[in-house]
Amino acid sequence: MANDRKIQFATQVIPKTESGLEEYGGSRFNRLHASVNKTLGGKGYMDINATQWGDSWTSMSVLSRTSWGDIDEKWEVAFTNWDDLTGSVPITSSLLQLSSDSSALAFCYIKNTGLNTVKITLQYGAGSPTYPFKLVAGSSVHFKGYSTNLTLNKIGVVRDSSDSTIEYIIAKA
């Protein structure tokens, strides 16, 4: 595999416990959990293939102009609000399969950009899939492919109770 593309990722976990102080009217607040007493996490790089399984390997492909070569207008005269261009994909009550390619998964990142919770399955196409990930608004999850059994076409997303939107990257090795 040519190491032509790299994905940099990082995670930070802050173990918190809920506390309350009587002198502050009994209001609740979060503080660092005393038994852990530190943050946890890590960072790394994932090498992925320069040639991915299709244009939809990232949700940014929903944009009509995903590369400089696709832009055929002058920026100073075009009536485009560049800040409004997002790669958000709508999530409804129908389970959305993120890829139809059966290649082994190398890396997956999904961010809930909407206002409502979404559920993620790693068993798309199963009779009764489980949903090991629930993403509330503004949260995200990322993971590396853990075996040859996890393929690109197994990742699916559905709303929990109301429609939402996501951004994603789903890459093959």
Give the tens place of pLDDT for each residue, 70-96.
Answer: 555 555 555 555 555 566 888 999 999
pLDDT: which is higher, 129 or 35: 129
Q: Percentage of residues in the chain with pLDDT exceeding 90?
A: 24
Amino acid at 159: R
Q: 81 in a domain, yes or no? A: no
Q: What is the pLDDT of residue 10?
A: 79
Q: 14 in a domain, yes or no? A: yes
Q: 104 in a domain, yes or no? A: yes
Q: What is the pLDDT of residue 66?
A: 47
pLDDT per position as a tens digit, 43-68: 777 777 667 766 666 666 554 444 44
Give the Cα-Cα-Cα angle 146, 152, 157 (nearest 5 degrees): 100
Residue 165: give its domain's CATH number: 2.60.120
Q: 78 in a domain, yes or no? A: no
Residue 29 vs residues 22, 26, 34: alpha-carbon distances, Å: 12, 10, 14
pLDDT surpassing 90 at residue 114: yes
39, 12 in Cβ contact below 8 A? Answer: yes
Q: 56 in a domain, yes or no? A: yes
Q: What is the pLDDT of residue 166?
A: 92
pLDDT per position as a tens digit, 129-163: 999 999 999 999 988 876 667 888 889 999 999 99
Domain count, the chain: 1
Give the residue numbers spanning the domain of 158.
Answer: 5-20+27-63+87-172
Residue 15 half-sphere exposure, CB side, CA atoms within 13 Å?
9
Q: What is the pLDDT of residue 116?
A: 96
Q: 79 in a domain, yes or no? A: no
Q: Which residues in 53-92 are b (16+ Cβ under 10 Å) and which e?
A: beebbbbbebeeeeeeeeeeeeeeeeeeeeeeeebbbebe
141, 135 in Cβ contact below 8 A? Answer: yes
pLDDT surpassing 60 at residue 1: no
Q: What is the pLDDT of residue 68?
A: 46
